[in-house]
Structure formats: C-alpha cells, structure tokens
Amino acid sequence: MTTGLAACIATAASAQDMITYTTDQPFEDVIFGLENAIIDQGLVIDGTSHVGDMLERTKADVGSDVTIFLKADVYSFCSAAVSRKVMEADPMNIVFCPYDIFVAVSPETPDQTMIGFRSYPEGAMKEVEALLDTIARAAIGQ
C-alpha cells in the first residue's frame, strides 16, 4: 500500500501548536491504523468524538452552510505509566490528560487524510508528545 506521506507540518490552531501528518490513505484505513497503534502501545481508547459528524449535523442550527470536514474523529486515551511520570514531575500536567489524536479529511483535499495532535510544552510533557508521535506515525505506516 502506498502511503504518500507528506513531511511533518507544524501549524497553529488558536494559540496552540499541533503536529500533523498527511497521507493519501482513506480515512477508514487511517482510523483502523490509529486504533491498532493505540492498542499496540498497551493503551485503551477512552472515547471517540465524531466531531465532523456533529459539525455537519448542526451547521444549519447555528446558521451556517459551511462544511468544515468531510470526516473528522478525535480519539482520546491515556497511559497510566506516562501520565504518572509527567504528573509526578508537575501535578498540573493533569490539564493535558487524556491525550487526543485527530483524523480528518477536509473538503479542499478530499483525497488526503490528516492525522495529528497538539504539541506539548517543554519538559516532562515532551514524553507524551513523543508517544503521540509514535502512535500517529504507526497509524499511517511510517
């Protein structure tokens, strides 16, 4: 299977930085890869938010006709070991738990699927960022 991976793109989302990867794999394949990559790390998916469906379903209710995503889901999960480590370093790192990875397809690029996560501050939380990077890359076969 060709992955057609693009280089890591750092972009700004509000005041928050994120790390994203783009592939020509279909959304469903990336979701399957993400679920397996999370499980392969010995982690449990706490929840899946179907953000794209919600935005599409409610757009008329909020006075819009704009389709933001063709498909978009956010997967939430945590690691007891990593979470303990980063919260022992600073208990206020609780604000970052659970960890999220999103998968999305934009109307502007319907043949490309993006996977990404927020970047974290310097210090202990960079270990979480490295874990999320490992999972996101595994999800798209990189």
Q: What is the mean pLDDT of residues 9-16?
A: 40
Each residue's pLDDT tens digit, 47-94: 999 999 999 999 999 999 999 999 999 999 999 999 999 999 999 999
Q: Which residues pair with 22 in a beta bridge?
A: 114
- Check residues 4 and 90 and name the one with the higher pLDDT: 90
Contact 49, 74 (CB under 8 A): yes
Contact 141, 3 (CB under 8 A): yes
When computed from its CA atoms, the radius of gyration of the chain, rounded to whole angstroms, is 16
Is the confidence at residue 9, as pLDDT, over 70? no
Query: 102 pLDDT band (50/70/90 cuts)?
Result: very high
Half-sphere exposure of residue 7: CA atoms within 13 angstroms, side-chain side: 1
Structure tokens at 26: 């279909």
Q: What is the mean pLDDT of residues 117-130?
A: 96
Is the confidence at residue 2, as pLDDT, over 50? no
What gap in Å lies between CA 27 and CA 85, rounded to an integer? 33
Query: 10 pLDDT band (50/70/90 cuts)?
Result: very low
Structure tokens at 101: 């990875």
Query: 8 pLDDT band (50/70/90 cuts)?
Result: very low
* Contacts of 88 by beta carbon, 8 Å cutoff, 6+ apart: none
Helix (H, G, I), strand (E, B) or coil at 65: coil
Contact 118, 135 (CB under 8 A): no
DSSP 32: H
Query: 16 pLDDT band (50/70/90 cuts)?
Result: low
